[in-house]
């Protein structure tokens, strides 16, 4: 049975394109080509006007603000779209709330959802069941990815190899090693903080004296350097 009606063909087709991270946008070019190729499929199915929504390239679909998705959803509610093309359900949404919101609006207005596997009409019970399962699977994939990542971090921490942030006054010297900062200004500033704290035993007075001394800590985090005075001295005392 042909699910595409003349009324739907008279409206625009929307091709929604998304990749989760900037790294995927730069490196996973084949995925982009597959998604942009949906424009040709829309024209083959009979749509003369095709709108490409690719503002969300580099954005995750796990509940954050997505201008492209919101624009598409607005066009659906206005009755301007006859079908939404996406390479798979996970491109459209990774949360059950967004997925089912999209299904509800498409069902009310009569918008088809078309992916690499088939054509779905949210107004039909069987199609709605399949779409619901696709959304659930997409959401569970994210939960599985996060669980695996957390387990890997915990295993690395148990081996003593997890370095999320290097303490002030130290630098990474290798894959799993840290050493004192070779900069004598940094070492002198840290020694000053500890000597004042040992002498006065008052963190507030120690930090005030440190700030007045016009020393700066240099905290290296990856390729960036940030300078802090009050917070820097405070972290040195409480973390060492």
- Known catalytic residues? 20
Q: Are strands 119-120 and 112-114 parallel, antiparallel or unpaired?
A: antiparallel
The token duo for 239 is 């973390």
Backbone angles phi, psi at 4, to 5 degrees: -90, 120
The token duo for 238 is 């409480």
């Amino acid at each position: 049975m042909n699910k595409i009606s003349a009324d739907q063909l008279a409206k625009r087709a929307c091709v929604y394109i998304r990749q989760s991270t900037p790294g995927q946008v730069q490196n996973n070019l084949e995925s982009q080509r597959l998604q942009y190729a949906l424009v040709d499929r829309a024209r083959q199915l009979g749509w003369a006007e095709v709108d490409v929504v690719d503002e969300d390239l580099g954005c995750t679909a796990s509940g954050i603000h997505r201008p492209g998705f919101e624009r598409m959803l607005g066009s659906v509610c206005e009755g301007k779209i006859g079908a939404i093309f996406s390479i798979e359900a996970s491109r459209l949404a990774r949360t059950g709330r967004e997925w089912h919101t999209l299904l509800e609006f498409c069902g009310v207005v009569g918008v088809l959802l078309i992916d690499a596997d088939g054509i779905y009409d949210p107004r039909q019970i069987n199609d709605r069941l399949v779409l619901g399962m696709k959304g659930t699977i997409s959401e569970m994939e994210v939960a599985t990815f996060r669980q695996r990542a957390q387990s890997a971090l915990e295993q690395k921490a148990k081996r003593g190899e997890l370095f999320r942030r290097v303490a002030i006054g130290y630098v990474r010297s290798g894959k799993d090693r840290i050493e004192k900062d070779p900069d004598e200004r940094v070492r002198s500033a840290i020694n000053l903080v500890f000597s004042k704290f040992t002498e006065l035993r008052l963190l507030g007075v120690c930090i005030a004296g440190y700030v007045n001394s016009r020393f700066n800590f240099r905290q290296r985090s990856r390729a960036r350097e940030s300078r802090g005075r009050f917070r820097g001295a405070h972290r040195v005392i409480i973390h060492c």
